[in-house]
Structures are given as structure tokens and as C-alpha cells.
Structure 1
Amino acid sequence: MTSNLFDLTGKLALVTGSSQGIGLALARGLIEAGARVVLNGRDPARLAAAAAGLGDGVVSPADGIGAFDVTDPDAVEAAIARIEAKCGAIEILVNNAGIQRRTTLEEFPVETWREVMRTNLDSVFFVGQAVARRMIPRGRGKIINIASLQSEAARPTIAPYTASKGAVKMLTRGMCADWAKHGLQINAIGPGYFDTELNRPLRENPVFDAWLRGRTPAGRWGRVEELCGAAVFLASRASDFVNGQVIYVDGGVLSVL
């Protein structure tokens, strides 16, 4: 049946950066579709608090299994090995961890540039590679990278973020080029402007808020749960011949001038 194409029952997923915001919402959506989810973040206490609201589908963070730094390749490799040994094969990976830093490009500190790239881009490579090395011998796996509206469009004061998310788009395509032949599907979701903690400074700025509502055909900010449909699609059998794509969930922003 067509409805079974979206069933994730029994699948194990890892969602990075999932103690709050978009990552937590995506974890909840995957659980509602039947998956078991390992949450990830650097703070075990925050992971435990996030897990408390997700019910039985979340893999218990009590032993700190998902508490690791996605920007540290050695920590990533150790954590992926530990997760697979204790919980089973990771069949779905959502590379969601990300940060935003805002200032004019001419004043942007070099170390902050590196911080943005480590978190937004390097982590996708580190975690994606570690998981793919295990998926490839099994001949199957779903990797979903979280790109952005800014993978296609720039705005003042966020050039490093834009560069990192543009690179995530192209890394997604590169992963497809290398790994699709092994039975993996690697795609990305490009969120537009969502009402999250990351966007709080923009949400609370009346001028930007009015601009965004006027610029978006849907006329509003996105709600994080509205990203779950795309995630479940890309994590499920429904997307078995979809590869190297970015699905923009942006209320129509990229469709209009």
C-alpha cells in the first residue's frame, strides 16, 4: 500500500543537534512515523530534558550515548561505533547541527568564520562519512542534510552562514555522486525562515518581521513541525529513487522576486 511507503517502524535514526529547535522537531516527526531516534548534542542534561518529551521512540540518553561533539572527527567515529554496538544499525542520519553568527563581513572574526564552518559544514562531512562507511556494506541508508534557504540566497551580515549552507548543498550532491551506487539516498532539506531560537533576533525585530511576512508568499514564518513531512519522505521508501536533491520548505520565498 502507498501509505506503507512512509512507514519508519523499527528504523534507527540519528539526528544531530536535536536538543531543541528544528532538530528536536524532526526527531519527533521521525518517532511519530515509527522510527527509534538517537538525539545528539554536547550537553547530556539538555538531551535528557529533550528526550523526556518524546516518549518511547527516543533511545534513552541516560548513558550519554548521543552526547558527542560533531565537530570532532575522533569523537564522531567513537560515538557512531558506540551507537551501532548498543542500538543497532543507523539507517537514517539527519545532519542538523548548525549555528548562526551575525556581523558585517568586513568585521567578521577569522575564528568565528572557522566556528561556523566547523559546525555547519565539517560536521556534515564527519558524521556523514562515519555513518556512510557502515551503511555502504549493508547496501542501504538514508542521509538527510539540513541546508537552508541561504543555500541559494544571501543577506547582509550572514555571509559565512550562507557560504556554509551553499557548501552543504554541494556536499549533498557530492555524497550522492559517491554513495548512490551503494544503495544510499542522500538528500537535503532547505528550511526558509522558521520561528526558532536561532531566528529569535529576527523574529523580535519589527522591521525584519514585517519584511519577511511581505517577502514570503505564504505571508508568515514557518512552524518547525512543518519540516517533518519532508524529513519522513526523505527517510522512507517513498524516496528510494530521489538522490542529491534539496527540498526547499520556505513558504515560497525562492519562487518569487
Structure 2
Amino acid sequence: MKRVAIITGASRGLGLALATGLSEAGWRLVVDARTPADLTAAAEWIGGDVVAVPGDVRDPAHRAALLGHGADLLVNNAGILGPSPRPRLASYPLDELREVYEVNVLAPLALTQLALPVLRSRAGAVVNVTSDAAVEPYEGWGGYGSAKAAVEQASAVLAAEEPAVRVWWVDPGDLRTRMHQEAFPGEDIGDRPLPEAVVPAFRHLVTSRPPSGRVRLADLTVPA
């Protein structure tokens, strides 16, 4: 039986790269994104055994639809940066900060809660995509960074509470994605690696299944 991976935010960037990499490794993919046309194009690109479920991870009905296909691995990748240019905390619009927390913290936790029964039964795993902005006080990153810090702490507690499930909070590093470009409007980010560069390390993570914990993909040694 094929292993099933749910990957949110898979229509572009890191999510698309991870989904494609797992599909090539023989996984069945369940992917989502908010824009149906973008998700359809992504599913065609991913190829293999892939189910596209368009919707917003904040929507309970959408989360239930994702879990309707089972899961051995849940990758909470969907997220938003927030306002760009990035405001300082002293002037951060609270309505927009609330949305950053809803998308980056509450929605993935809600999806994880829904997935836990099947993940426990299959000795499955959760990957929460995080960032170095969760642990470093970069100026202008108070909104996104504090949301990712909340994700990291929630992941650590989840790992302590769910010994039957692997929980990894994964820092992929700076990558050449649209979100990263939004964080640096007008700047050239061409020196950052493409998301595909971290796929071998990610696949090694989910197949070698180290103990739960924080993982920097750049630190993983991938067998030749």
C-alpha cells in the first residue's frame, strides 16, 4: 500500500517541490492551495498518484476533505508572510497580524488535531515548516517570526504529548520563492537556492525517521 502524504500550500514554491519529490519516491499525494487553477496546474506538474483538493486551511470543511484520503505524513507548509514591506511591531496592523496567526499557527494546529487519530494508528509523522525567523530577532520579522515561534513551541509540546507520532519542525533555509521575494521587495534574491535543492534532505528525513525535534535541512547528511 502506498504511503499517503498531505502537503498544504503545494501549488508553488517549497510545497510544490516537496510534493514532487515525494511523488517521485512513490508516495500518494494529497495537495491543497487556495486557487483551483494554480492547484490543477501543480498537480499536473507533480504527476503520479496525486489528489488535488482546493481550499483554505482555515476552513473546517476543507480540512476534513483533506483527511478523507488518509495520511501517513502531514506537511503543514501553507502560510503567509503578512504585510510587505514588513512593518515594525510598533506599527503592525493588528487585523493583519491576527490573519498571520490564523493561517500560520491555528490552521495547521487544527489540521493536525484532525489528523492525529490516523497518524497514531499508522505511526505517522507531522512536519511543520518553520524558519530561522522563529529563533532569531530580525528587525521587521516580528509578525511572521513570532507566529513561527509559536509553531515551534506547539510542535515541541506535541512531540512530548504524542510519542507514537514523529513531529519535526523543519527550517528549510532561505529559498528562492515568491514569499521570500515578497519579504524583500525590489531586491534580487537570485543567490538563494531553488526549493528543489532541499528535497533530497527532506526525503531523507521522512524515510530515516529520526526522533522528533527541530531540523535544519541544511544540516542533514544525505547518503549518496
Q: Normalising by the residue count of structure 2, what TM-score does the alignment of the two structures yield?
A: 0.88
Residue 78 of structure 1 is matched in structure 2 by: 64
Identify unmatched segments of 5+ residues in structure 1. Answer: 1-8, 214-219, 252-257
Deviation, 1:228, is 1.3
Tell me which of 16, 24, 31 is aligned to 2:23: 31
Cα gap change, 1:58 to 1:25, in 2 (>3 Å): same
Q: Partner letter of residue 27 of structure 2?
A: A
Deviation, 1:248, is 1.6
Q: Partner letter of residue 248 of structure 1?
A: R
Tell me which of 103, 106, 109 is aligned to 1:122: 106
Q: Partner letter of residue 111 of structure 2?
A: V
Residue 217 of structure 1 is matched in structure 2 by: none
**Paired-residue identity, %:** 29
For the residue of structure 2 that corresponds to 1:18, the secondary structure is coil
Q: Partner letter of residue 43 of structure 1?
A: T
Deviation, 1:179, is 1.0
Identify unmatched segments of 5+ residues in structure 2. Answer: 220-224
Deviation, 1:184, is 1.1
- Per-residue deviation, residues 161-198 of structure 1 (Å, max 9, x unmatched): 01011111111111111111xx2111121122111001
- Per-residue deviation, residues 58-104 of structure 1 (Å, max 9, x unmatched): 22x3xxxx2222123x22442144x33xxxx2111100011112212
Say if 2:135 is the partner of 1:167: no
Residue 222 of structure 2 is matched in structure 1 by: none
Contact 2:201/2:218 (<8 A) preserved: no
Tell me which of 56, 67, 70 is aligned to 2:54: 67
Task: Determine the C-alpha separation between the residues in 2 that align with 1:129 and 1:100.
Answer: 24
Deviation, 1:154, is 2.3
For the residue of structure 1 that corresponds to 2:140, the secondary structure is coil
Tell me which of 198, 206, 213 is aligned to 1:227: 198
For the residue of structure 2 that corresponds to 1:37, the secondary structure is strand
Task: Determine the C-alpha separation between the residues in 2 that align with 1:196 and 1:94.
Answer: 18
Q: Normalising by the residue count of structure 1, what TM-score does the alignment of the two structures yield?
A: 0.77
Structure that is richer in helix per residue: 1
Say if 2:224 is the partner of 1:242: no
Task: Determine the C-alpha separation between the residues in 2 that align with 1:159 and 1:117.
Answer: 12
For the residue of structure 2 that corresponds to 1:25, the secondary structure is helix
Task: Determine the C-alpha separation between the residues in 2 that align with 1:111 and 1:203.
Answer: 22
Say if 2:167 is the partner of 1:186: yes
For the residue of structure 2 that corresponds to 1:199, the secondary structure is helix
Cα gap change, 1:68 to 1:39, in 2 (>3 Å): same
Contact 2:133/2:141 (<8 A) preserved: no
Q: How many residues align?
A: 215
Tell me which of 31, 35, 41 is aligned to 2:33: 41
